[in-house]
Amino acid sequence: MKFLAENKKVRFDYEILETFEAGVVLTGQEVKSVMDGRANLTASYVVVKPNSAYLLNVKIPAYQPKNTPANYEPDRSRQLLLHKKQMGYLFGRAKERGLTIVPLSLYNKNRRIKVSIGLARSKRKQDKREIIKKRETDREIRRTLKY
C-alpha cells in the first residue's frame, strides 16, 4: 500500500472517531496525476447523501497541462464508492451535531486508488494547545537524553 497524498492537518484539527475505506471515481488523466503524487487534500471534505457520497475540493491538477480537455476542472466533485450500509451509517452520523466527514489519505491498493475517510469531531483550541505543549516537552526530553 503506497500513500499518494495525505492530509496531515486533519489529525491536528479533528479528533478521528472512525475510519472507512472508499474507492474514488476518477478519469484516466486524474489517475496518472494522482499516481504521480500531485493530489492535494487540504480543505477537502465529504458530503454524504442517502444514496451517494461525494469528495469535494480535492485538487488534482492535469497530468499534461497542454494536452487536457478544455472543460477539465481540477477541483470537481468526485463520487466515492461505498457499500449501502456504510453510506446509510455515515448519512445518519453526519447529521449529528459537531460531526463531519473528512478525507485522511489517498493511497494505492491492488492497482486501485482508494481514499481513507474519517468521521471526525473538531477539537477545541485548548485541546490543540495541550497537544503543542506535549510535543514541546517530548522534544525537550529527547534533547536532554541525547546529550
Q: Where are the domains of the chain?
A: 2-146
SS3 111: coil
DSSP state of 16: E
pLDDT beyond 90 at 17: yes
Reported as a single tens digit per residue, the pLDDT across 49-77 is: 888 999 999 999 988 877 788 888 888 99
Reported as a single tens digit per residue, the pLDDT across 79-90 is: 999 999 999 999
- The domain over range 2-146 is classified in CATH as 2.120.10.30: no
pLDDT of residue 79: 95
| Cα(7)–Cα(36) distance, integer angstroms | 17
C-alpha cell of residue 30: 486524474
pLDDT beyond 90 at 1: no
Reported as a single tens digit per residue, the pLDDT across 94-122 is: 888 889 999 999 999 998 999 999 999 88
pLDDT beyond 90 at 47: yes
pLDDT beyond 80 at 46: yes
For the chain, the average pLDDT equals 90
- Which residue in 35, 22, 9, 26 sits closest to 77, CA to CA? 26
Query: Which residues on adjacent β-strands are paired with residue 121?
Result: 15, 99
| Amino acid (1-letter code) at residue 96 | E
- Which residue in 11, 21, 14 sits closest to 90, CA to CA? 21
pLDDT beyond 80 at 31: yes
pLDDT beyond 80 at 135: yes
